[in-house]
Structures are given as structure tokens and as C-alpha cells.
Amino acid sequence: MSTRFRDKVVIVTGASSGIGLETALAFAREGARVVLAARTEAKLCEVADAHSDLRERFLIVPADVTKDDDVRRLVAATISKHGRVDILVNNAGIGMRATVAATPIDDARSLMEVNLYGPLRCIQAVLPHMQRQRAGHIVNVGSVLSMVVVPRNSAYCASKFALLALTDSLRMELHGTGIDVISVLPAYTDTPFFENMYRYGSAARMSPFKGQHPAKVARAVLHGCARRKRQVVLTISSRIAIWLRRLAPPLLDFIVRQTSQREAKAESKTR
């Protein structure tokens, strides 16, 4: 077992599957004390039971990031058990695939509650403790869609753009405090995220490819913390897309439109 994060106290939201699960496991294998947070306690217990070698490093705290009381209880339980919070990984999130015209307002609000206000609640809850420690890492897991938009994902893109703005503003506010603020921007990742998203008139997965393994994103989270990175963008294609958005946005629009049209045609053939 590596000791890079020995006895660091890490809260991971959305820890029952996908990127959150792999991030929790990666930190535990690096010697950290990991607080597993997600809405369903049974799923968190399954994670702990499936990794008995790491069980003593886990603290299970069921929490819904859209509820103030749950988030306060999550941080209070962490402080009660470990006395500090060194790293917060805001990973819990939900997606939506719908055109702007077909986006239900109530679902858009619910998405923002998870993807934007959830991280904000968690940040506000841990900040007093990190400020007293004069140290800490706040990691917000966004997406390449935090910087590049695609059709039929407007509400999701908006939530991730907003989270990136929140992250960048927070970083400036905390400059010189010893608290690092890190954006991790994955591309298409093979997780249950797509089966759980809001969908209106389209399949769960638009691409025949499985995407990167969530363990790759977990490694990026740990790398960002270890190197005190500002931002970690996964995949070369994502870096190219971000570069094109800055320097040649019409070209990027054309490429994205063409890709989306091909995916829509492939989807229609499977119906």
C-alpha cells in the first residue's frame, strides 16, 4: 500500500459507484481515511464489504447532497470520528439529455440541486474546518462539458459550467489560505451515470464505445491533489476541443454538430 495520503481524511460524495467509488478506493489504497457518502446506505455497505482489506479505512455516512441536514451530518460525523477534513471530493452528480425546448423546468431545478448546490453545500460545510487547519483540498468533479457544449445536454452543460465558475471563484477567494481548489474534467466515462440520468427522447448511451474506466478519473483526482493542480483535463480529444472553443468556436460547433447527427442516426436505427 502506498502512503502518499497516509491518514488524510477524505470525504467522497457519490461514492457508491462509478468515479466516486474508484476515487474512494484509490485514496484508501494510498493510506487515507475515507468517508463514503451517497444516498443509499445499503450500497455503501456493499462497497465496504466487497473490499474487506480496506474496510477499516472507511466511514459510511449516507447523505443526500441536496439536503442541508444531511450535509451537516456528513461533516459532523467526519469531524467526530477523525477530528479534521483534509480533502473533499464533490463527485455526486446527475445528467440530463433533452433539447432546450423539451427540458422540464422541475427536472432542471433538481439537476442544479445535485450538480451545483450540492457541491456548494458541501464546500460551505467543510470550509470552517479547513480554514482552522489552514490546509485542505476541495476537488470538484466536472466534465469536459464544463467548457464545451453539445446538443441535447443544455441543462447538464449549464450545471457544469456553473460548477466550474464556482470553482474558479472559490480558488481566488481562498488564495493564500493553504486550501487548494481543483477542477477535474473527465470525458466520456463508463459508469452507471448514463442509465441514471434524466432522458427525453434518446437512449441512455449515444456512443457504441464504453468510454474510459472510472479508475482513470480517480487517478487524476489523486494526481491533482498530490501536485496541487488548478485543473486536470482528461484525454487529448478534450484538450483539443477546449482549445478549439477558445480559438475557433465555429469549427468546434461544426465538428460537434456532425458528431451529434451521426449519433442521432445510429440511435434511430436501434429503436
C-alpha 186/C-alpha 147 separation (Å) is: 11
CB within 8 A of 256, min separation 6: which ones? 148, 149, 150, 151
- Catalytic: 200? no
- DSSP 3-state of 182: strand
Q: Which of 117, 156, 198, 200 is catalytic?
A: 156
φ, ψ for residue 140, nearest 5 deg: -105, 115
Query: DSSP assignment, residue 188?
Result: S
Residues 6+ apart with CB under 8 A from 271: none
Contact 61, 36 (CB under 8 A): yes
Q: How far apart are CA 68 and CA 46, in angstroms?
A: 25
Grid coordinates representing 110 are 433538481
Can you tell me the distance from the alpha carbon of 184 to that of 167, in angstroms, rounded to the nearest whole number? 10
Alpha-carbon gap, residue 241 to 258, rounded angstroms: 14
Residue pair 14/91 in contact by the 8 Å Cβ criterion: yes
8 A C-beta contact, residue 225 and residue 182: yes
Q: For residue 49, give the amino acid letter.
A: D
Residues serving a catalytic function are 156
